[in-house]
Amino acid sequence: MQTPHPSQEAPSLASLAEHGYAFVQGPALNALLTHTGDLSDWDAFADSWNRLQLDTFMADQGRYRRRRHAVFRIDREHGIQAQAPQPHFQSLEYNRLNGGIERWYPPVEPAIASGPTLTTVLKYAWSLFGTLAPSVSAWHVEIHQFRIEAHPDWAGRPTPEGVHRDGVDYVLVLLVERCNIDSGTTTIHAPDGTELGSFTLARPLDAALVDDARVFHGVTPVTPHDPSHEAHRDVLVVTFRRT
């Protein structure tokens, strides 16, 4: 597996190791990803967010979130292996709003799940998180495509459960597109609630990296900048949990 050059990856590793989170700007992440693999299907990858389906599991009755889901196993012997569709499950400890049930979501489209962009993102995350946890030989990885829609009459809530942990080891949040929205600021918090940092994913490939065992995270609601036009926030969320 081709991995990012150590000098490129070092700032993200250092911030994750010291603070439990890192913000990587799009141009820097693009350099890391293109060193790892290629993004030749990026346009098709981004366009697939236009075909996400409504999340019908929202306990707040919100109709502002669309998503797809996929599961992979990554290990040293076999590399990246797509898994059969399976439900997404979080306990109520980690998701007070929608946890405690099996949530079956439409799968990521096959061409996107096996395409070069997603494969490259997985390889990069594996290299990064594997460096932080070198004793882990196998990972359970979940992929979430999210579109949060904002409307003149209601805001879209990227984290409707509030500031939270996901119940995994590491999280990568990658911005695909911001369309006509205001706000959507990511905040990072210590377990006692103290805010440790904040930043806004503003450009494609801007990313947040989170050590989920150490810090909590949330995102402020998004509202339309121009109420007369469509408004949404598209992100890819990748979670790594040791097996």
Residues in contact with 154: Cβ distance below 8 Å, sequence separation at least 6, in sequence order:
62, 64
Q: Is 155 contained in some domain?
A: yes
Supply the pLDDT for residue 4. Answer: 54
Q: Is 54 contained in some domain?
A: yes
Least confident of 10-19, 63-72, 88-97: 88-97
Range of the domain at 12: 6-242
Supply the pLDDT for residue 96. Answer: 73
Tokens in use for 237?
């969320």
Q: Is 119 contained in some domain?
A: yes
What CATH number has the domain bearing residue 54? Answer: 2.60.120.620
Rounded Cα distance between 151 and 164, Å, is 25
Q: Is 1 contained in some domain?
A: no
Q: What is the pTM of this model?
A: 0.94
Residue owning tokens 């990554």: 74
Whether residue 2 is predicted with pLDDT greater than 60 in this model: the reply is no
Q: Is 129 contained in some domain?
A: yes
Q: Is 73 contained in some domain?
A: yes
Dump pLDDT digits (tens) for 188-215: 999 999 999 999 999 999 999 999 999 9
pLDDT, the chain, mean: 94
Q: Is 205 contained in some domain?
A: yes
Residues in contact with 158: Cβ distance below 8 Å, sequence separation at least 6, in sequence order:
146, 148, 184, 219, 220, 221, 222, 233, 235
Supply the pLDDT for residue 93. Answer: 83
For the chain, the domain total comes to: 1
Q: Is 159 contained in some domain?
A: yes
- Split at pLDDT 50, 70, 90, the class of 6 is very low
Dump pLDDT digits (tens) for 82-124: 999 999 988 888 777 788 889 899 999 999 999 999 999 999 9
Give the count of beta carbons closer than 10 Å to the beta carbon of residue 2.
11
